Chains A and B, each alone.
Chain A
Amino acid sequence: MQVTRRQFFRICAAGVGSSSLAALGFAPGEALAEVRAFKLARAAETRNTCPYCSVGCGVLIYSLGDRSKNAHGEVMHIEGDPDHPVNRGTLCPKGAALLDFVRSPNRLKRPEYRAPGSKAWQPISWDEAFTRIARLMKEDRDKNFIAKNDKGETVNRWISTGMLAASASSNETGYLTQKIARSLGMLAFDNQARV
């Protein structure tokens, strides 16, 4: 057994000192030994799917309150869905950290606009944004839409505006996006299948 002089001093000092405390009446009361309360007891539980890779793990989202009108259902915890045949309750380091995605300080909260040449964002209302975007799209489409090619063949395409569709969006969003893009004659259209 090797004990340094410094350690020996510290052991004696702290050991005696703290143990003496109770004798002097400074003890922090009768120490109650209770585990931390289980925080999910009555939280609302919602079934969802992890938005990252395509294993498609089932997750359980726990939110504050019992879904009553006056309770704001803030997401407080996310863990794996034990019923899910693929992940059986497990989650990877991304899935296990989903709470911090939902509540990331870098979530966008309101529409923003950056004017040509500007160094900064400025706020814009949804209505203004939608209207301005639609106006820009229409101007471009009306000007550059190709109804017929050089050979006179009907081609009805619009290739001067393009779109990248989100590969983490739902089928329902994807389907709606596909319908809209093709109705406009859009071909410069892609998704994350390659990257």
Chain B
Amino acid sequence: MALQSLDITARSATTTPSPSVRGTLQVAKLIDISKCIGCKACQTACMEWNDLRDEVGHNHGVYDNPRDLTDQSWTVMRFSEVEVEQGRLEWLIRKDGCMHCAEPGCLKACPSPGAIVQYANGIVDFHEENCIGCGYCITGCPFNIPRISKKDHKAYKCTLCSDRVAVGMEPACVKTCPTGAIVFGSKEDMIHHAEGRIEDLKERGYGNAALYDPPGVGGTHVMYVLQHGDQPELYAGLPKDPHISPLVGLWKGVTKPLMSLGIGLAVFAGFFHYVTAGPKEVDAHDEEKSS
């Protein structure tokens, strides 16, 4: 265990079992949307800490900027104007980014050994030096989070500031959040904190307030408190019941046996296509057809 500062429980494309004797604290980030003012401090703090600078884009007639997650923007705010109750406008603002699933579809889908790891504390981290840019993590992700860089053809996403958490600090977005809409601690404590928030929201007339910790991915290490827990789609399309993409099952079911059959020349060439020409991003059409 000498070469790592966080214990690892799972690595992509690795069959050697990970050591599991030590028990570390399961961490979680809780995002209380009812406290979020959409100020984007988490966005600037994230870029600042992680030495990222996205492009200066355009205004597209909305407050969302950058418009989507990118290799440089690992978190973005998504703004939705909704009227759940007739005549009562609500501006729901969701901080989007990696959910750090307990059963990470990205990791399961990743064919490159050690490009994606899951630490014992629950963080799912990308190690770009091992990334081959195939984009499988995107297919595997039920939340559409990872993005392939046009610059180095590698996949990037929120690390939950694993470098800060490894030395006992909170992630940059958590620390900066002006209203305390983002909090961080043990998963157990975060669930307890959420229960208090839900009780408060129910008293304020949000009868369906609920915690978002979807079981379809084994629960997540980034959770939401939703005012309208019965309608997560209201929050810029947060999936109601996320599951790992069926494509990942296919990779497990079909491709792995193929691998064991030996290597053909065509397959070998296929790999070099990726290395030389770069990956193709899974475009929106593909995503839609697969759902």
Contact = CB atoms under 8 A, between A and B. Distances in A.
Interface stretch (B85-93, B146-154, B171-179, B201-209): B171-179
Interface stretch (A11-19, A149-157, A180-188): A11-19
B247 A7 contact: yes
Nearest to A12: B255
Contacts of B251: 11, 15
Interface residues of A, number: 51
B22 interface: no
Interface string A61-98: 00000000000000001111010000101111111110
Interface in B218-273: 246-247, 249-251, 254-256, 258-259, 263, 267-273
A91 B176 contact: yes
A92 B39 contact: yes
A36 B44 contact: no
A7 B286 contact: yes
A16 B92 CA distance: 43
Interface residues of B, number: 66
A115 interface: no
Contacts of B180: 90
Given A6-B286, A11-B250, A34-B4, A90 B178 contact: yes
B41 A15 contact: no
Contact of B13 (A13, A19, A95, A97): A19
B45 interface: yes
B38 to A, nearest CB: 10
Given A10-B280, A36-B162, A77 B41 contact: no
Interface of A: 1-4, 6-8, 10-24, 27-28, 31-39, 41, 77-80, 82, 87, 89-97, 99-100
Given A1-B250, A11-B250, A28-B130, 11 more contacts: A1-B246, A2-B290, A7-B139, A15-B111, A18-B271, A20-B271, A31-B115, A33-B11, A33-B117, A35-B163, A90-B180
Interface of B: 3-6, 8, 11, 13, 39-41, 43-45, 48-49, 111-115, 117, 125, 127, 129-130, 132, 134, 136, 139, 159, 162-164, 166-167, 172, 175-178, 180, 246-247, 249-251, 254-256, 258-259, 263, 267-274, 280, 282, 286, 289-291
